[in-house]
């Protein structure tokens, strides 16, 4: 009988570019980190869909209602795909508590809030998932390829909404929404790596589940959204924001990681890999849009 593979040997295989399938032998820590990523992604989609469901009847035009309903159905379809991956990779130990992004806790008071948040989150998700397509867990990478294609369409749809309503309708509401969403969206990518501190981020990088750090993802978001936002007439609510040509990095106001309830909110565990309160949201969303 061959000797069990050591953790260092497993890392060597990942460093050589080997990909993992659900049936492969893997360290429990790797399994936990994969399940954590899948569960956070799934919870984000379900919470987003449940919140936007409330706006289908409030959307200004029939076309907006139909397009928003399509986006909700797309999010629930993606969440279902992730649930399949979770079923195929059962937990061998207790799952980590999961969280969803703080930006989902920003209240949606007006249609402009819905449009702008959808635009931000579709663009941010494209950055995160586009750079995870080469991750070491092959089933997730395959699913992401489909999701990224559809997220591009979601971003274009949200941008079309933005162009349709920004200038002619309610620029003040858009400006207010932008100011409320900007910093929660920067925190969407997570805290930076700290030297000597082992975190989920560092494990994900070690295991090649992602290619870039949180800060590198945030820099890509800034590189895309700062010029795009200014082109659309938005004033970035950060007087310290500037681009350092020497380091090729954006400098911005220090982000507060000590008190942001949404990203600190832990959701309960369930047998299906979905948090219990998210499961109830899923049931509502599926019931509303089935058929």
Residue pair 129/141 in contact by the 8 Å Cβ criterion: no
For the chain, the structural domain boundaries read: 20-289
Q: How far from the centroid of its chain's Cα atoms is residue 175's Cα?
A: 23
20-289 placed in CATH 3.90.700.10 = no
Nearest-angstrom CA–CA distance, 189 and 289: 30
Q: 248-277 pLDDT, tens per residue?
A: 999 999 998 875 443 344 343 333 334 444
**Residues 6 or more apart whose Cβ sits within 8 Å of residue 48:** 75, 104, 121
Nearest-angstrom CA–CA distance, 270 and 247: 45
Nearest-angstrom CA–CA distance, 38 and 54: 25
| Ramachandran region, residue 110 (left: φ > 0; alpha: ψ -120 to 50; beta: rest) | beta
The ranges of the chain with pLDDT < 50 are 1, 260-291
* pLDDT value of residue 170: 61
pTM of the predicted model, to two decimals? Answer: 0.85
């Amino acid at each position: 009988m061959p000797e069990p593979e050591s953790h260092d040997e497993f890392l060597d295989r990942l460093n050589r570019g080997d990909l993992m399938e659900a049936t492969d032998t893997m360290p429990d820590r790797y399994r936990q980190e994969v399940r954590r990523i899948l569960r956070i992604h799934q919870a984000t989609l379900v919470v987003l869909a449940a919140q936007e469901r409330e706006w289908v009847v409030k959307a200004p035009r029939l076309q907006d209602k139909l397009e928003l309903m399509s986006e909700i159905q797309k999010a629930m379809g993606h969440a279902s795909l992730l649930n399949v991956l979770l079923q195929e990779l059962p937990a061998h130990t207790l799952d980590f508590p999961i969280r969803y992004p703080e930006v989902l806790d920003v209240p949606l008071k007006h249609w402009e809030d819905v449009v702008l948040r959808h635009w931000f989150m579709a663009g941010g998700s494209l950055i995160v998932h586009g750079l995870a397509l080469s991750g070491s867990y092959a089933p997730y990478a395959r699913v992401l390829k489909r999701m990224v294609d559809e997220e591009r369409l979601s971003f274009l749809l949200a941008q079309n909404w933005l162009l349709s309503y920004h200038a002619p309708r309610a620029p003040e509401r858009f400006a207010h929404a932008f100011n409320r969403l900007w910093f929660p969206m920067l925190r969407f990518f997570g805290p930076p790596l700290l030297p000597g501190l082992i975190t989920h981020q560092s494990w994900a990088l070690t295991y090649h589940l992602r290619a870039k750090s949180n800060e590198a993802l945030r820099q890509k978001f800034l590189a895309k959204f700062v010029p795009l936002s200014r082109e659309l007439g938005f004033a970035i609510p950060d007087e310290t924001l500037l681009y350092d040509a020497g380091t090729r990095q954006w400098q911005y106001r220090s982000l507060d990681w000590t008190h942001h309830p949404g990203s600190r909110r832990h959701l309960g565990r369930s047998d299906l890999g979905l948090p219990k309160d998210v499961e109830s949201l899923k049931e509502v969303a599926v019931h509303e849009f089935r058929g």
